[in-house]
């Protein structure tokens, strides 16, 4: 039986420490050695951000990371929003490459991958600093061999459409920080317990945003609709990739606000899907709203979702040279 996504770890991490305005040289160490003082800023004031990206292995043994540059820029933006010291692109790239290069044997065969989790935490030992950013930090890169996030590409998801609650604050959804995910957990747990749902689609005031852990798409034979980047949702790398690929495949791309009413009306004859580094593009089969279940199409994985997902995974597997610049070979 395959281990649940993100529960197995490669033995080495890359670590750098920030103090006195500069980062130390990154070093590889055991993934079990990271130590924190109980007064560390992150444990009390959630001064943390992270990224999630994947390295894929080819038959020749080489490893390639998907859209590394975009993930690095997003982490730098998250760090700035949390007032943490943003690492230089070259430094973070080196740390990521070193973790992958030293652990090539940890990368499963495609479509499996090595899921990479660069993480930054504030570590000032001071519990009276609620209004002060941490002046010291740790940056580390953790790696996890993974398969499919939702347990099978042909499995469809059941979503609770929540038109009352927000996933996070209106302008902070763009930060990839643990607090945003923690804020959604109670709603997700409640949706699972009461409605047997896999996730919650947050639609405050009736406006569709995203789920607790992924961007959301409304799809039909002619168009892709997703919420625009206004600060309230995460600027997904997979989201961006699918918009580019969708336009190339002839879909009309609509980055706009849309309502729960439009969603439920359109879903009956269309498709819905979640996108993300972990989720890739995962189909939604049912929506639950106000106690009623709404099938999405015929409840199965739709043809457009299959086409878009295949276009994306072809690039990740190295089978589409037009987008070879999206893959960064580990040197």
- What Rg value do the Cα atoms of the chain yield, rounded? 20
- Of 244, 198, 210, 202, nearest in space to 224 by CA: 244
Domain boundaries, the chain: 12-146, 157-316
The burial of 33, by beta-carbon neighbours within 10 Å (0-12 exposed, 13-18 middle, 19 or more buried), is given as exposed
Tokens of 114: 């090595």
The pLDDT value given to residue 148: 72
The pLDDT value given to residue 211: 98
Pairwise CA distance, residues 21 & 135, whole Å: 8
Q: Which residues of 305-327 are buried (b: 16+ CB within 10 A; e: fewer)?
A: bebbbebbbebbebebeebeebb
Total-model pTM: 0.95
Angle subtended at Cα 95 by Cα 93 and Cα 101, rounded to the nearest 5 degrees? 95
Q: Which residues of the chain have pLDDT under 70?
A: 1-2, 149-153
The pLDDT value given to residue 10: 98
Give, in words, the CATH class of 157-316: alpha beta
Pairwise CA distance, residues 70 & 84, whole Å: 19
Report pLDDT digits (tens) over 230-272. 999 999 999 999 999 999 999 999 999 999 999 999 999 999 9
Pairwise CA distance, residues 58 & 171, whole Å: 39
The pLDDT value given to residue 331: 85
- Of 172, 182, 315, 330, nearest in space to 248 by CA: 315
Select the CATH number that applies to the domain covering 12-146 from these four: 3.60.10.10, 3.40.50.1220, 3.30.470.10, 3.30.450.20: 3.30.470.10
The pLDDT value given to residue 22: 97
Pairwise CA distance, residues 325 & 327, whole Å: 5
Report pLDDT digits (tens) over 49-81. 999 999 999 988 899 999 999 999 999 999 999
């Amino acid at each position: 039986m395959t281990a649940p996504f993100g529960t197995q770890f490669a033995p080495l991490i890359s670590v750098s420490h920030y103090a006195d305005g500069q980062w130390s040289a990154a070093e590889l160490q055991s993934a079990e050695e990271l130590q924190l003082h109980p007064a560390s800023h992150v444990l009390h004031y959630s001064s943390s951000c992270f990224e999630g990206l994947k390295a894929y292995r080819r038959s020749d043994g080489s490893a390639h990371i998907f859209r590394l540059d975009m993930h690095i820029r997003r982490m730098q933006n998250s760090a700035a929003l949390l007032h943490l010291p943003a690492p230089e692109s070259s430094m973070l790239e080196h740390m990521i490459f070193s973790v992958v290069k030293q652990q090539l044997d940890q990368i499963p065969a495609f479509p499996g991958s090595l899921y990479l989790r660069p993480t930054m935490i504030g570590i000032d030992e001071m519990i009276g600093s609620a209004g002060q950013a941490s002046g010291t930090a740790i940056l580390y890169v953790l790696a996890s061999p993974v398969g499919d996030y939702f347990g099978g590409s042909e499995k469809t998801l059941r979503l609770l459409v929540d038109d009352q609650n927000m996933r996070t604050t209106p302008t902070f959804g763009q930060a990839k920080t643990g607090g945003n995910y923690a804020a959604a957990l109670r709603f997700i747990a409640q949706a699972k317990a009461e409605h047997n749902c896999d996730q919650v689609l947050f639609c405050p005031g009736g406006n569709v945003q995203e789920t607790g852990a992924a961007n959301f798409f409304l799809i039909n034979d002619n168009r892709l609709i997703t919420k625009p980047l206004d600060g309230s949702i995460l600027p997904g790398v997979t989201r961006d990739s699918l918009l580019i690929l969708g336009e190339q495949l002839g879909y009309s791309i609509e980055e706009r606000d849309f309502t729960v009413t439009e969603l439920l009306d359109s879903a009956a004859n269309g498709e819905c899907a979640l996108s993300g580094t972990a989720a890739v593009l995962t189909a939604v089969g049912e929506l639950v709203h106000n106690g009623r279940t709404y099938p999405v199409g015929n409840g199965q994985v739709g043809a457009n979702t299959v086409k878009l997902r295949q276009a994306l995974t072809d690039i990740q597997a190295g089978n589409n040279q037009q987008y070879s610049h999206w893959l960064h070979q580990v040197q």
